[in-house]
Every structure is written in C-alpha cells, then in structure tokens.
Structure 1
Amino acid sequence: MHKSKARITAIGSYVPEKIVTNKDLEKIVETNDEWIVKRTGIKERRMTKEDEHTSDLSYMAVKNLMEKYNKSVEDVDMMIVCTLTPDFKTPSVASIVQAKLGIKNAGAIDLNAACAGFTYGLYMANGLITSGLNKKILVIGAETLSKITDFEDRTTCILFGDGAGAALVEYDEEQPSFISSYLGSEGEKGKHLYCSNLSNQMFGEDIMNTNYIVQNGREVYKWAVTTVPKGMQAVLNNGSTLINEVDWFVPHSANLRMIESICERSEFPIEKTLHSLVDCGNTSSATIPLSLTKGVNDGKLKYGDKVLLYGFGGGLTHAGLLINWTI
C-alpha cells in the first residue's frame, strides 16, 4: 500500500427498532435459545419493517455519524455504499442516500463484496483519496438481510439481522489512518454462499434458483478459519507489524465460534476482539462498522489504537486492513 493520505474522522451506526430474540425464532422454526447460543453466540437480531429499506438504514447511520462528531457531509465528493441488499437493482442505494442527504457534488456507487464489503469500501476510499481523485468520502455498510432470509430454513434464519454503519474518510497527509492491506477471493467456492434470482447455474453446475440466502455453513466455516488467519498475517507483514502490537481485532461478525477459532489459530486473544453479533446477529457488510461503533461507545476503542479489520464472506471474498484509530 502506498503511503496513505486518508484519515477516518467519524463513524456512526443504526439498527432497526424491532428485536427478534432466539425465543421468537423458537415459535417459527424447530430451534431453541440454548442451541443457537451454543453454536453461534447470537442472542438477538434486528429486523426492518416492511417499508424500511437499506437506504433508510444507511441514511440514519450517516445522521448518527454527523450528530456524534458534529460533522457536515455537504462537501462529500464520493459515496460508497457496501451492500448485497439494495432497495433496487437501479438506482443505487448510494444515489438514494445522496439525494436524502442533499449532497450536490458527489459520485455515488454501490459495492457488493458481501460480508467483506465494508473493508473493501474503506480500501477503495483510501485509494481514491491517496491518489488525489477525492477529498472526502462516505463509506456505508448496510444490509436488510431479513428481506432475503428464508424463515423456514433453521440453519440460516437464526444468523441474519439488519443494520448499518457509516465512516467518513477525509484527506489528511499528516495523520493518515491506513497502514496496510490484503485482499483476496476464491470465486470457485462461491456456490457455498449465494442468493440467486437470475441464474440457476454457477460454473456449469446446477444451483437452487431462489431469492433467499443459501449457505453451506460447514464449507464456509472451514474456508474462513483457514483463510482469515493467513490473511491477517499477510496484512501484518505488509505493515511491518507484529500481532502483539495490535490493540483490537475486528473481524466480520459471522459466528462467535468461528471468531474463537480464528483467534486461536492466529494466537490472538479473544478479549481484544470487537464484534456485534450477540445483539445484532450477522449483518454482513454492516458488522464491522457496528462493532467499531460499539467499541467506541463501550469505551474500549481509543484514539491511537492499532486496529486490524478483517471482512470475509460471499464471493468467497476477503479483505483485511490495518489502521490507526484516528477518531
């Protein structure tokens, strides 16, 4: 990574009001609270109303960011919304949020890297600002996964929730946030986690044509616990940093057992890990910004901390960033 000229200056989040507990799910599918907690660590998740969409959650996350840090977004010149659950195929969520915020001179794109979306979004923002193409970028990770979840499938409906997080990234040559990165993809394993409404084939193989998320949990788990520790080490190597110099590890909040395995394999203390899954479930691209916001609110994450972010999921894609916490 070239010497960064980009700084994360604010962060915010939003989750819908409606809470769905494990007890609530017991009434819908054959499951129970003890089984869900033991296997995933999740106790509850948030769910949007029928008329509440990804753009609404995104907008509220930005409003939260503005209020918490007294920030204006009128002069934002690029908006990147990371999501796999856009309101429409077109226009983009970014365009809808740009209109709601009244930002006049901003580019607007959606980025779909599934659960790695937010780390990819930050990576892009750093690149655009460091290259001199942009000065001030909003990166939003937002999902309404409840709208593509099959609530008759007990293996997936216990996992997913809705939420959004936003970060403001600005030009700052003196105090940049970004230290190093590492990105990857294993597209041949994409069939283990997908949602299709257009094709019933992938690489010539028949797949279930459904509007709902389909996941081979065992295969995704195996992939994550081997891929992420290697990726973490690659990020650290690229940043000439030792693992014991990292203050906080913020992985995608997929499953607590998965995070425990990743920490064990990478020899990183679980106590120095930030996640958002207990109360929010797996919110795909929103998990990392939700975790960061929670870390700030809980008084854990502090200015000057060295933080390792790692997103991983559908694609199968993954992306890690080592950053200085500059808020």
Structure 2
Amino acid sequence: MTTTPQSSPHAVPHPFGRTLCAMITPFTRAGTLDLDGAGRLAERLVSEGCDGLVLNGTSGESPTTTDTEKAALVTAVREAVGERASIVTGVGTSDTLHTVELALAAEKAGADGVLVVTPYYSRPPQDALEAHFRQVADASGLPVMLYDIPGRTGARIEPETMIRLADHPRIVAVKDCSYDFLGTQKVLARTGLAYYAGCDEHILALYAVGAAGCVSTVANVVPRRIADILDAFDAGDTARATRLQLRATPLIEAMMGAGLPGTVTAKALLTGLGLPAGPVRAPLRPAGREAADMLRAAYEELAEA
C-alpha cells in the first residue's frame, strides 16, 4: 500500500510504510474489546507520524484475543484511519490451518497485509517452517510479513530459509527480532525482502544498512519521537538521527528491557497519559506502582529533552 517517497534518499521498498506501530489492543475496564478506544488510539498514532499499524501481534495480546475480536479490531481501525496508513494484522498460530483461516478473515476484514510468526512451542525444522509460510502465503491475496522472534517462539527462521522464502511473490517483508545482525545483513544483501526492526533499540542501526523501517512498540507512547529518528536519517542528518535514537534509549530500556512485556509497559504509560489502553488479559498482570513510576520518569525525561 505504501511505497518509498520519491524524495527519500533511502531508496528501499516500503511495502507497508516506514514507521509502523505494534499497536496495543485497548480493553474496557471489564476486559472486553474497546473498539472505540482502538479507533481513537489509531487516529493518534497516524496523526503523529505512523504510516502503518500492526494489529493483533505480540503487543496486541494476540494469544488472548479471539478470532472474532481480531477481525473486529481490523475493521474498527480501518474505519478510523481509512487509507492514511497500512494495516498489517497478526495471524500466526502454532497451527497452519488455523493460520490460513485467520489470513482469510484478515483479508475479508480489510487488512493490507498479514504478520505471520514462526509456529511456536512445537519448534518445527526449517523445511516444515518453509512449507508453513508458503501455505499461508498461498491462501490469500494479502502480502506477508514474516515475524522472526526465536526468543519467544523457540524456533529461528534461518537466513538460508528466509532467502528461499523471498522467491514467493507474496512474502515481501520481515519483522526482525532475531538479534542476529549478521544474519539479517546476509538476507538484505541477497533478497528484496523489506526488513522492519522489531526491537526498538535496533531501529536506526537496521535502517542504516537498508531496512524499510520499524515495527515499534515504544511508538504506542511516543510515535512522533520514533518517526523523527527515521525522518532525520532520510534527510541526510545522520548525526541527528543518532542523537534521537540515543535520546530515546532510556525509555526503550524502561519499556522493553526492564523485565516486563512491552504490552504491560505500554498500557501502563498510556493509561497514565489518559489514552486508550485498559487492562491486560491474564496471564499478564499490570505493572506495579514502582514499575509505573519508573516508566513515567523515563517518559517525562524524553518528553522534556
């Protein structure tokens, strides 16, 4: 849906935009899906620099939302933002047939693409992973973003597997949480896959070697700050881009590296700012007072910088 602006010197494909937010899923106080809040949050994210939204991913609590809720969220966010941002939705499960069903439902709900995580827990070998991704990509007309996050799934999409998958016409992008910078560069050098940094601390580093952008959890809270990093790089001001990335590091560490899931930290901050969020669903638990205070201090430090 979104392509690289002609004025950008960063001449790589941007199939889903450049600054994508891994959007949380707002719930009501009673724990039900808050579609009105989701629309308002999506509107804020887009108005403050996000040109893509990733719904129903890790940050969106996909393990604890129903198939019906996932489709309803896509429809509500599409109504809120129209065509101003791409919508990619998570459909990955441990079951290939269920993943296919979710991909077809996402297409019907109005998504622009699907995020397909490595099947977790069962740890299939590489040939089985490749067959899984190809079957999902064959099932609908939507382009696919692979999600490589072995720390959560227990299985890596190895670089050679990724290179083979790149020949599929609908496998176009990767959300990279592999923590294998060398492996990522090997794939970038040998394919046309659009890589998106899935770890906020890697946004600038990965962009500098040819990534398409980021899928940021921290952008839930400071979307403009994340977009500014990539804007500075695209403007040729790499020194400013570096300063902005480093300036955001304390908040990135507080949200993503302090022992709590990003969903929990993002919702704690959004709630404190009076923005749509609501509770997390069990087995996740809300941030305690000490953690919430630490998060707010890191946020205020960045806001005042």
Same fold (TM over 0.5): no
- Give the structure, 1 or 2, with the largest relative contact order (CA under 8 Å, sep 6 or more): 1
Structure with more strand by fraction = 1
TM norm structure 2: 0.28
TM norm structure 1: 0.27
Structure with more helix by fraction = 2
